[in-house]
Structure 1
């Protein structure tokens, strides 16, 4: 019976430790504010606009096939835009919570300070262009590395008396 009680206590302790992130203390308002600042100033939240604006534009394009509804569609988009902005702000809040969960307030202060420097602002400005370059180069690099791996694997397997096709 004592053995069962100690097993139960050990199991309870293990479950509590596994669940402890759920019970973690909520970040302070200043911590969340800094995390939000980093999310916005880093340019990360631009992707939310990149996702929502085409949806609104697509809705407006319906007037191409039905010109008689153009004015009503424009009014609907005008009504929806602030609602979509509220949805976007929820994602910004989620991003801030993710930053706050993984970075201390002190770390976020340092990152926020960087994004407020000329170099930080330049980084945010060129980041989409850099990502375009990297994605383009990644395709070529992946192909080259794939070929290299196969050539090297065939050579090494050949040394061992095996042939790869």
Structure 2
């Protein structure tokens, strides 16, 4: 069962961008604001919420994907090292295994900073409710349908605008191709 909400969709896009190679000299985003200390119970409430929302599914393959990307970069210029790079990739993936949990912990800290402990508990209760479960099941379809509509709408409007440009430029004696 796919348990993905709009947040997860947005987060997965952000995560993909974060793990994609950046060109040299690419502008980096400003550092995040420092987080205030939170109580252990608030952290647990945040972890519970993120667990119920299935957020760990978003970053579950972060390490294998990063290792694969690094291996592919080296392989591009060193084809004769393929066997060794494959072996090293397995070794590095094993060495780094579990570090993806840092993502979940930092997300929990962020949530514990952004919401009160009670709000986190209330949100967890909501996502465990039938409506919350329906939201998690249905929202990906709703988002997909919305994105499809927006793309079709933008395409239709774009055609209208292009035609308006052509008509206006034709009136001015400067037809567009």
Higher relative contact order (CA 8 A, sep 6+): 2
Question: What's the TM-score bracket when you normalise by the shorter of the two chains?
Answer: 0.5 to 0.7
- Whether 1:111 aligns to 2:123 is yes
Deviation at 1:44, TM superposition (A): 3.4
1:35 to 30, 33, 46: 46
Deviation at 1:51, TM superposition (A): 4.9
Q: How does 1:148-163 map to 2 (within 5 A)?
A: none
Alpha-carbon contact 2:63-2:93 (below 8 Å) kept: no
TM-score by length of 1: 0.53
Instruction: For 1:42 and 1:128, locate their aligned partners in 2 and report how far apart those are by CA, in whole Å.
Output: 13
> Which structure: larger Rg?
1
Alpha-carbon contact 2:46-2:108 (below 8 Å) kept: yes
Deviation at 1:92, TM superposition (A): 1.4
Which residue number corresponds to residue 154 of structure 1?
none
Instruction: For 1:67 and 1:128, locate their aligned partners in 2 and report how far apart those are by CA, in whole Å.
Output: 43
Q: How does 1:61-72 map to 2 (within 5 A)?
A: 62=75, 66=79, 69-70=82-83, 72=84
Q: How does 1:102-141 map to 2 (within 5 A)?
A: 102-141=114-153
- 1:85 match: secondary structure: coil
> 1 or 2, which has the higher helix percentage?
1
Give the gaps of 5 or more residues in structure 2.
1-32, 162-177
Deviation at 1:41, TM superposition (A): 2.6
Alpha-carbon contact 1:42-1:115 (below 8 Å) kept: yes
Instruction: For 1:114 and 1:74, locate their aligned partners in 2 and report how far apart those are by CA, in whole Å.
Output: 45
Instruction: For 2:60 and 2:136, locate their aligned partners in 1 and report how far apart those are by CA, in whole Å.
Output: 15
RMSD: 3.9
Distance change (3 Å), C-alpha of 1:28 and 1:74: same
Give the gaps of 5 or more residues in structure 1.
1-20, 150-165
State the number of aligned residues: 126
